[in-house]
Amino acid sequence: MKLRIATRQSALALWQANHVAALLEALPEVDRVELLPLSTRGDEILDRSLQKIGGKGLFIKELEVAMQQGDADLAVHSMKDVPAEMPEGFCVAALLERANHRDALVAPGDRQFADLPEAALVGSSSLRRQAQLKLMRPDLRIEPLRGNVNTRLKKLEAGNFDAIILAAAGLERLALHHHISQQFQPAEMLPAAAQGVVGVECLAERTGLREILSQLNHPTTVLTTLAERAIAKTLQANCQSPVAAYAVIENERLKITALVALPDGSASIRDSISGSPPQAEQLGEELASRLLANGARELLDQSNAGHD
């Protein structure tokens, strides 16, 4: 069986697609895997924030069209870019073992977060990161920073920023981990839902292919991702919303922590829930309902109004 993978063209996306290709080629049912690199709307529009471009699935729509048209069999994504509500006719067929879930500070001279100067200029386009940076350090100035990992690093090296925030997993996958000055623990900065998880998407009707792809599933990652994505779905959040969620299984208990905040850090709601791992999705929904009862909808509406 020959399989064709639709992927974005960035170095990180190609690393992820090649990683999935190698895992698939090790399966007895798969003879050959080819990559179909594509450009997405989110990759092409770099002069505006993701919030202003609007729309769901800015980094995945073109890959889904390729599958619909029969040009590709599957697509590989960073799951944090995948809308919590899957489009009709598509499914997440596999979730690989989670890599590093943390956010990383990249600053010249390995400078630590606490040592950044007063009113330091930090680059990040993520409202989730912006909100949590401001919660820890209200003095910081946050400016948008779009583009692929290397583009962002070059902007820092050019002196445009005092520091930038990137996903640790992306830097590690591209062997750029030596740029990391500090990694934030979840207690300091909660990650995005499914941060560090690579997912495989295909057409829902392709049951035979789904069965093959399911062999790549990592059971623990499936549960924690279900929990985190259930929060985003219940909150009707998208990948640009100032929403964070992190689930972990320890001692056979699933603990989920979630946060909703205003991007300027002036208000935030944080809560946690624990329960049995098989109840992952229900626990995520329950935690999101608690956040909504405590005013999360108002914060999200306020955030959306400020970034239209």
Q: State the catalytic residues.
A: 81
Matching residue, tokens 């990180």 = 12
Q: Is 186 helix (H, G, I), strand (E, B) or coil?
A: coil
Strand-pair partners of 302: none
Q: Report CA torsion sign: 301, 294, 103, 264.
A: positive
Distance, in Å, from the CA atom of 67 to the CA atom of 231, rounded to the nearest integer, reads: 28
DSSP annotation string for 140-160:
-EEE---S-HHHHHHHHHTTS
CA 20 from centre of chain: 17
The alpha-helical segments, DSSP class H, found in the chain are 11-25, 41-44, 50-53, 61-68, 127-136, 149-157, 168-173, 207-213, 219-234, 280-293, 296-306
Cα 180 to Cα 135: distance, rounded to the nearest angstrom: 21
* The 141-143 sheet, strands edge to edge: 141-143, 121-123, 163-167, 103-106, 182-183
Instruction: Identify any residues that bridge with 260 across adjacent strands, giving them in sequence order.
Output: 243, 269
- Written as one string, the DSSP assignment of 54-102 is --S-TTTHHHHHHHHTTS-SEEEEEGGGS-SSPPTTEEEEEEPPP----
Strand partners, 245: 258
Burial 123-161 (b: 16+ CB within 10 A, else e): bbbbbbbbbbbbbebeebebebbbebbeebbebbeeeeb
